[in-house]
Amino acid sequence: MTDKTERETVVAARAWLARRRAAGAAVVYRVAGEEIPAPGIATAGNEQAGNAPAARKETRNANAPAGNAPCIRRRTAPAQAGLFGGAPAASPAEDDDMDLGELEAAVAACAKCALRETRTKTVFGAGNAARRIVFIGEAPGRDEDLSGEPFVGRAGQLLTKILASVGFDRDDVYITNILKCRPPNNRDPLEGEVEACEAWLRRQLELIDPVLIVALGRVAGQNLLKRNASLKVLRGGVHYYDDIRVLVTYHPAALLRNPNLKRAAWEDIQLVRKLYDEEMAG
Ligand code: SF4
């Protein structure tokens, strides 16, 4: 991580921590590898199932959307910055008061990594933040880069069907990616790109305050959880991003390539539904 990116991430993280503490929340958080547990609270990391932090349910964001709040997603995408000439984006660290729409506008002007030079549109995310469930892929593909919307190609259509199979309307969950810009030729995100984009995702998740995150595919799971593990290992348990439960399942594109994986994916999405309902009921 570059010094600048690390500094931005740490400042944003500490601001978030301060707000949670001010709201009386019990907080456990990692800042640049340093764990900052609230007094008397067990440490949370990337535990597998059975080691959930005891205070996890107490750490909800008081500023999260109300249960019946309308969709936060703005249907009109903000203007894209020129490849090199746009004003530098405010980082989450520079403006902690940004709401999701303002954050999306800031991301649209972001020039923090070289992907600014090859993207057509940034792809911030879409869906209903108020439902507090977030699906995260690795990065936009060609169709997403052109449209500015996440998961709109064949893989996106399959994701819509998978969600519908357990009663989720696609527009009623929130979908985003680790990276907000498309890597050329859909290559895997580079470490520096993930680090540069991380503060945007972190702030996005802070605003949405999900009860459950679903990482779609190995690359998304590894980068979100900071674990260099196989998809098989990552699928095998419940993980944590701060205090938020994380499940890892197949990327829909993998299911298109290998339909034999669909049975396992079906079991995964049922677990997603079960854990989500548990969290919302709790
Ligand atoms: S990938 Fe992320 S950090 Fe890089 S230019 Fe796009 S929004 Fe900015």
Quick one: pLDDT at residue 114? 98
CA quadruple 152, 157, 162, 168: dihedral positive or negative?
A: positive
- Residue 56 gets which letter from DSSP? G
Q: How do 212-216 and 244-249 pair as beta strands?
A: parallel
Q: What angle do CA 180, 220, 8 make, to 5 degrees?
A: 55
Q: Is the CB of 182 under 6 A from ligand 1?
A: no
Higher pLDDT, 74 or 55: 55
Q: How confident is the model at residue 139 (pLDDT cuts 50, 70, 90)?
A: very high
**Can you tell me which atom of ligand 1 is nearest the CA of 110?**
8
Residues 6+ apart with CB under 8 A from 81: 87, 89, 108, 109, 110, 111, 116
Between strands 34-37 and 28-31, the pairing is antiparallel
The mean of the pLDDT values for the chain is 77
The pairing of beta strand 244-249 with beta strand 239-241: antiparallel
pLDDT over 70, % of the chain: 66
| Residue extents of the structural domains in the chain | 3-281
Mean pLDDT over residues 118-128, rounded? 98
Evaluate the CA torsion angle 187, 4, 215, 247 in order and state its sign: positive
Q: At residue 203, does pLDDT exceed 70?
A: yes
Q: Give the mutation target among 6, 83, 104, 122 for probing the ligand 1 site: most ligand atoms within 8 A of CB.
A: 122
Which pLDDT value is given to residue 24? 38
- Domain 3-281 CATH class label: alpha beta
pLDDT, position 108? 98
Confidence of residue 22 (pLDDT cuts 50, 70, 90): very low
What mean pLDDT do residues 180-197 have?
A: 97
User: For residue 56, is pLDDT > 50?
Assistant: no
Confidence band of 207 (pLDDT split at 50, 70, 90): very high
Q: What is the DSSP letter of 85?
A: T
Q: What is the pLDDT averaged over residues 2-6?
A: 47
pLDDT at residue 117 above 90?
yes
Mean pLDDT in residue range 155-159:
97
Instruction: For a ligand 1 pocket test, name from 2, 8, 116, 194 the mutation site with the most ligand atoms within 8 angstroms of its C-beta.
Output: 116
